Structure 1
C-alpha cells in the first residue's frame, strides 16, 4: 500500500514539474513573439522627436518652455515647419512666442500656429482687460502726416458746431479735447511696429473703454476728429481744452445791459380846502 502511494506521489510530482516546464516555455515563447512584434512595429513606423503642446493653449497666449515637450512623431506624418532639437522652438535670449491659433494637448507645434519670437497674435492680444478696439477715420492733416505708429499715444480733438441760440454756448465752430493719451494698436490693416516707412493712413484703430468708444463714435458722427501725437516718455495729463472762434480771435462777448426805464407818471393837483391833492392821470404826448 505504501509502495502504491509512493508511486502515485512520484508520478504526480513528475506531472506537476512537466506542467511547470511547459508553462515556462509557453510564456517565454509568448514574450519572445511580443518583443519581435514590437521590434517589427518600431522598424515599420519610424518616428522623430518633435515639439508638441504639453497642455491646451488658447489663441493669443504666451508659450513658455514648460508648455511644450519633445514627443515621438511618425516620420511619414511630420507636419510642415515643425520644431525639433535641430530647429529649436526658442533660442537662448529670445523673447517667447505667442499662439496665433489654439493648440490642443499633444498637438504638433508648427511655425504657422505661433508667432515669431516677441510677436503677438493680432489686435486681440494688444487689448487690455475691459478694452475695445475702435477705428477712427483720418487723413493727411488729422493723422499727423503719416507719422503715427502702432503703440503711439495720441490726444483726440473734436471740431464741430454746437446747436442752439443760447448766448452762453460757444458761437461758431468749437474745438474741444475729448480724450487724452489714447493708445493706437493698428494703422489701417497694419498692427506691426517694425515697418518704419511713412504712409498716409485712412483709419487708425485705438484701444478704448466702452465709455470712450461711445464718446468717440458720437464725436465722429457729429464733427471732425483730429489726433495730436504725444511724446513717448510724456506722462502728463492734458487739462480740459475748449476753443471757439471768439476766444481764438480774442473777441470778448458783449454783455447786454438791460436798463430799466422809469415809468413816467402824470398828475394833476386839486385843492380841497386847505389841502392840495395830486391825482395821477394818463400821460399824453
Structure 2
C-alpha cells in the first residue's frame, strides 16, 4: 500500500511540475508577443484626416464640396497649408467655393497655395501676387514634350538682329512660372500661348523682345533650381566660320604741288605750268 501511495505521489509531483513548465512557457510566449505588439505600436505611423480632391482638377475650376473627401495622411509628414476641417476649407459656407490655381490629382492633399480665397474671381487677377503682373507670351515650343500647363516653368529665348546686322539668340528670362494657358494647345511643336507672372520691369523687357524678334519657350524640369547665367549664341558658334577681316585701304600718297600762270595769246587764255616758289 505504501508503495502504491508513493507511486501516486511521484506521478502527481511529475504532473504538477509539467503543468508549471507549460504555464511558464505560455506566459513567456505571451510576454514576447506583448513586447512585439508594443514595439509595433510605437513604430506605427500616426495619421490624421486631411481634405483631398475626388477627381483631377485644373486651373480655373471651382472647388466644390462634392469635389473633396477626407483621406488619411501621415502626421509627421503633413505638408504646410492643408485643410483638416470643412470649416477651414469652406469658411464662408458650402455655397462659396474656392478656385483652383494649380492642378491637383486625386487623393493629393489640397493646400492653400493651390486654391484661392473663398469667393475669389475665376479670372487671372486671382492668380497674380501683389506687386506682380500677368503677361501673355506667344512663342515656339520645341516638339517632344507636348503642351505646356499651368504650374510649369519656362525659359524664354529671344532671336533677333544686333545693330551690326548679326543674328543672335539670347536667354532672355529663366524660370518664369506659367499661371495660365490660353488658346488651343493641341498643336505640338508649334506656337503656344501662355500667361506668366512677372515684374513690371520684365513686362517692358518682354514687350520689347516680342516686338523686335522671335521668342522660343523651353520647359524647365521639375525641381530644377539651378541658376542659369547669360547665354548668347550667333551663327559663328554654329558654323564655326570666322568673320572676314576687311583691311583698310592704304592712304594715297600726297600729289606734288603744281603751280600755273595764265598767258594770253591773242584772244585765247593759256595755262602754263611754272616752278612753284618756296
TM range (shorter): 0.3 to 0.5
TM-score, normalised relative to structure 2: 0.47
